[in-house]
């Protein structure tokens, strides 16, 4: 059985051995309990990043009996009855039943989006080498599962850069709260709302790519497919367990409906593919549907730490200078856990940036800002170790050494895929240009601001 706390991330007290490995990786000290005793999660502190799930090594042994049967545990976790892999103590509640119900309902028009990190990790669930790049097989699997439209979150990442880059330039040139923080990572946003509510004005008002895509599905997508928005069921495939929390935020409904109706992690998608008997490795490559799927290399970089910053700098630079940036590859933002600072000269303006990977690393910088000592314009923060490629919803590695290899290989595949793209800058994506011309108007315009931006709020206990 799970702990008594409500929330997406849970610990099964029947399986937990009290090793406290989860507490060691928790960035917000939300894991509570004594050594050797079952742990619990303080849901008020928890940012639902799922790193506890990734490191948990306590599982249900076939040689032991537990008060709660395996069948009931599967039901509690919303997992298929056919699942054969071990059940670990730390887990997240899944959305598979909702998605299967929507797929089986002929009255629902299903639109699915895939985050950039999914295509560099999903193949691992089917025995392929760590970090295999399989966008074509991913699209083919989703098509066989019966989704009506298969779109790409990478497109919405380019859309995010158009809005976020414009917002940054506006704050710098016209006066606004600085430094500006990225708002793509929902765990980071929740952390600011809970622990540093006085710094909420520093967060970009942009929705994340997941939520922007969900909004576009039920507005522009509905128009293109002549579907009533209320009949659209929007699904996101994500490497992140906190994306489930983000999708349920009451603010995420500017289309007039919930932007995203269900979120499946990479592991959940793999369970579904296996449950219906699809031979993933033998799939012939397919493609994503137009128009909400064309993306630039910049949009794809969102899944690696520094990627949002790199994409934003390219676009912001050209907005400020009205000249092409000399080198699109901004190497200093790339790397692993920690803090990376740099300066980009855009005309007469020196744009100072900070990239933070690993949520614990951001606290000293936030304290600097509170004290008025921070001297920079823009900060990207990713909660997970090396960005979304290491998210809590990614395939689980049983050996620590495999974690390091998988992170390295997923990042390598990310940049290889980036290099393969025709366009490297979000604002050069022809479909992005078209959607502003045909539907949104201009970045930060009345319509785009209404649909693609949001507000954040301080969180009290129990919120």
According to the 3-state scheme, what is the secondary structure of the chain?
CECCCCCCEEEECCCCCCCCHHHHHCCCCCEECCCCCCCEECCCCCCCCCHHHHHCCCECCCCCCCCCCHHHHHHHCCCCCCCCCCCECEEECCCHHHHHHHHHCCCCEEEEEECHHHHHCHHHHHCCCCCCCCHHHHHHHHHHHCCCEEEEHHHHHHHHHHHHHHHHHHHHHHCCCCCEECCCCHHHHHHHHHHCHHHHHHECCECCHHHHHHHHHHHHHHHHHCCCHHHEEEEEEECCCHHHHHHCCCCCCCCCCCCCCEEEEHHHHHHHHHHCCCCHHHCCCCCCCCCCCCCCHHHHHHHCCCHHHHHHHHHHHHHHHCCCCCCCCCHHHCCCCEEEEEEEEECCEEEEEEEEECHHHHHHHHHHHHCCCCCCCEEEEECCECEHHHCCCCCCCCCHHHHHHHHHHHHHHHHHHHHCCCCCCHHHCHHHHHHHHHHHCCCCCHHHHHHHECCCCCCCCCC
Give me the catalytic one of 388, 406, 425, 448: 388
- Catalytic residue list contains 204: yes
Give me the catalytic one of 164, 310, 380, 428: 164
Give me the catalytic one of 92, 183, 204, 296: 204
- Catalytic residue list contains 121: no
Give me the catalytic one of 125, 163, 246, 268: 246
Give me the catalytic one of 45, 73, 207, 243: 243
Give me the catalytic one of 124, 163, 167, 380: 167
- Catalytic residue list contains 428: no
**Which residues are CB-contacts of 264 (< 8 A; sequence separation ≥ 6)?**
94, 95, 96, 99, 235, 236, 237, 238, 272
What the block records as the tokens of 287 is 């493609």
Strand partners, 235: 112, 262
| Contact criterion met (CB below 8 Å) for 261 and 230 | no
d(CA 365, CA 370): 9
Positions annotated as catalytic residues are 164, 167, 184, 204, 243, 246, 251, 388
């Amino acid at each position: 059985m799970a702990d008594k706390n409500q929330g997406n991330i849970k610990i099964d007290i029947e399986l937990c051995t009290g090793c406290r490995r989860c507490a060691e990786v928790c960035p917000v000290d939300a894991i509570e309990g004594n050594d050797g005793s079952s742990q619990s999660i303080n849901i008020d502190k928890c940012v639902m990043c799922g790193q506890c799930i990734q490191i948990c090594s306590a599982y249900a042994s076939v040689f032991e009996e537990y008060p709660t049967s395996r069948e009931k545990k599967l039901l509690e976790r919303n997992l298929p009855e056919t699942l054969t892999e071990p059940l670990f103590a730390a887990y997240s509640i899944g959305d598979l039943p909702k998605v299967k119900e929507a797929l089986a309902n002929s009255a629902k028009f299903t639109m699915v989006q895939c985050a950039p990190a999914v295509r560099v990790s999903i193949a691992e669930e089917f025995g392929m080498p760590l970090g295999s790049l399989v966008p074509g097989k991913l699209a083919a699997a989703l098509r066989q599962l019966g989704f009506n439209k298969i779109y790409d979150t990478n497109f919405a990442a380019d859309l995010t850069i158009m809005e976020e880059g414009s917002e940054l330039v506006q704050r710098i040139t016209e006066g606004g709260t600085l430094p500006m923080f990225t708002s793509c990572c929902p765990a980071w946003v929740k952390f600011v709302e809970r622990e540093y509510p006085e710094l909420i004005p520093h967060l970009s008002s942009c929705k994340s790519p997941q939520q922007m895509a969900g909004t576009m599905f039920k507005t522009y997508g509905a128009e293109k497919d002549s579907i009533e928005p209320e009949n659209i069921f929007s699904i996101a495939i994500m490497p992140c367990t906190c994306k489930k929390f983000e999708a349920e935020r009451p603010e995420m409904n500017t289309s007039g409906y919930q932007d995203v109706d269900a979120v499946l992690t990479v592991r959940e998608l793999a369970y579904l593919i296996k449950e219906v008997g699809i031979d993933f490795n033998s799939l012939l490559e397919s493609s994503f549907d137009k128009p909400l799927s064309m993306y630039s290399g910049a949009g794809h970089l969102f899944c690696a730490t520094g990627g949002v910053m790199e994409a934003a700098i390219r676009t912001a630079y050209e907005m400020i200078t009205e000249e092409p940036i000399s080198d699109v590859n901004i190497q200093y933002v790339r790397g692993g856990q920690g803090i990376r600072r740099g300066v980009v000269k855009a005309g007469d303006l020196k744009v100072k940036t900070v990239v933070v990977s690993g949520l614990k690393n951001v606290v000293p910088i936030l304290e600097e800002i509170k004290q008025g000592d921070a001297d920079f314009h823009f900060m990207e923060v990713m909660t997970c170790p090396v960005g979304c490629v290491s998210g809590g919803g990614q395939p689980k590695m049983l050996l620590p050494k495999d974690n390091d290899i998988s992170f390295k290989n997923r990042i390598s595949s990310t940049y290889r895929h980036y290099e393969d793209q025709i366009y490297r800058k979000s604002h050069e994506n022809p479909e992005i240009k078209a959607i502003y011309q045909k539907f949104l108007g201009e970045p930060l315009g009345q319509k785009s601001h209404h649909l693609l931006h949001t507000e954040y709020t301080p969180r009290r206990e129990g919120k």
